[in-house]
Amino acid sequence: MALNDQQIYRYSRHILLKGVGGTGQEKLLNSRVLVVGAGGLGSPVSLYLAAAGVGTIGIVDADEVDLSNLQRQIAHGTDDVGRSKVDSAAEQIEELNPDVTVEKHPYRLSAENARELVEQYDFIVEGTDNFPTKFLVNDACVFASKSASIGGILRFQGSTITVLPEEACYRCVFRQPPPKDAVPTCAQAGVLGAVAGMLGTVQATETLKHLTGVGTPLANRVLSFDALSMEWRAVRVKRDRNCPVCGDNPTITELVEYEQPACAIPPREGQLSGVN
C-alpha cells in the first residue's frame, strides 16, 4: 500500500525520521495492535497509536465509563459516562485518524478467548489494573510467539517490560500473581492521572519501535519510575530456563485464570500492576 498525498503530509514528521521513513509509515498502516484495557494506560496508548497511523487497533475491555475514570482515562469524555469504554475509545480514535480501523472487543479477556484474540494481532499492549490479565496476556503471547508490552501504575509509580519471543517473559520475572487475600483494593491506593500518560506513552513508543523495527526494545529490562522524585531506573532481568511457561520444561501448558480482585496493589515493589 503506497502512501497518498494526504498521508505523506499527515505523517511527514514520521517520514523525516531516520529508520522510520515512508517504509516505516507503511508498516504502521499495515500493522495490527491489540490494546488490552481502555483505561488509564490503554487511553494514551490507543490515542498515540491512532495518531501514528497504526492501521488496525483492537481494543478489549468489558467496562463502561465511570465518572471517576475521567481523571486519567483520556480516551473518554464526560458525555461518555455510562457508555461502553470500547465504543467511547473507538469514537475518539476514528475522529483522530480516519486511516485507522478499530476492532471492538467489548468483553473480558479470559483463558477461553485470549489465545485466539492474541493470534490475530502483530503486537499486544497490556495496560489493565489486575495481575491475572497480565499473566494471561503473557502466557498467551508465549504460546502464540507474539510480542507484548506489559505495564502497570500505582500512586506515583509506573513499571513496564516488553516481552519478546525467546527473551525474558513476565513470568520469568514475577512467576505468579500475589495471593488473592494479600492485596488491598484500589480505592485505598489512588494514582496521579498524568502518571498513566507517562507510562502509557512508554508503552506506545515500544509498540511503534517494534512495528517499524527501529531502536532497541525494552526486553530483558524492567523500567520503573517514581514521579515524586522523577527518577527512572531499568533493572536487568534474564530469561529463566526454569520459567513455568517459557522455560525448558514448562509446567504451564495452557492458559490459567487466576482469581483476584480488580485494581490490585502490588505486594512488593516493582510488580507491574495497580490502578489503571
Residue nearest to Zn ion (CB): 243
Told to check if 141 binds Zn ion by CB under 5 A, we report no
Q: Which of 41, 47, 172, 183 binds Zn ion (CB under 5 A)?
A: 172
- Measured CA to CA, the distance from residue 109 to residue 87 in angstroms comes to 17
Told to check if 243 binds Zn ion by CB under 5 A, we report yes
Of 57, 75, 5, nearest to 211 by C-alpha is 57
The burial of 268, by beta-carbon neighbours within 10 Å (0-12 exposed, 13-18 middle, 19 or more buried), is given as exposed
**Least distance between Zn ion and beta carbon 240 (Å):** 6
Q: Which of 169, 223, 265, 272 binds Zn ion (CB under 5 A)?
A: 169
Using the minimum distance from each CB to Zn ion, give the nearer residue, 68 or 238.
238
Piece in contact with Zn ion (CB under 5 A), picked from 5-13, 42-50, 82-90, 235-243: 235-243
Which residue in the block uniquely carries the three cell numbers 461502553?
A: 84
Using the minimum distance from each CB to Zn ion, give the nearer residue, 181 or 254.
254
**Least distance between Zn ion and beta carbon 265 (Å):** 24
Query: Which is it for strands 231-236 and 221-226: parallel, antiparallel or unpaired?
Result: antiparallel
Do the beta carbons of residue 180 and residue 261 sit within 8 Å? yes
Piece in contact with Zn ion (CB under 5 A), picked from 85-93, 117-125, 172-180, 262-270: 172-180
Told to check if 150 binds Zn ion by CB under 5 A, we report no
* Phi, psi angle pair for 255, to nearest 5°: -70, 135
Number of Cβ within 10 Å of residue 125's Cβ equals 29
Using the minimum distance from each CB to Zn ion, give the nearer residue, 29 or 141.
141
Told to check if 50 binds Zn ion by CB under 5 A, we report no
DSSP code for 105 = E
Which residue in the block uniquely carries the three cell numbers 507510562?
A: 199
Site residues (vs Zn ion, CB under 5 A): 169, 171-172, 243, 246
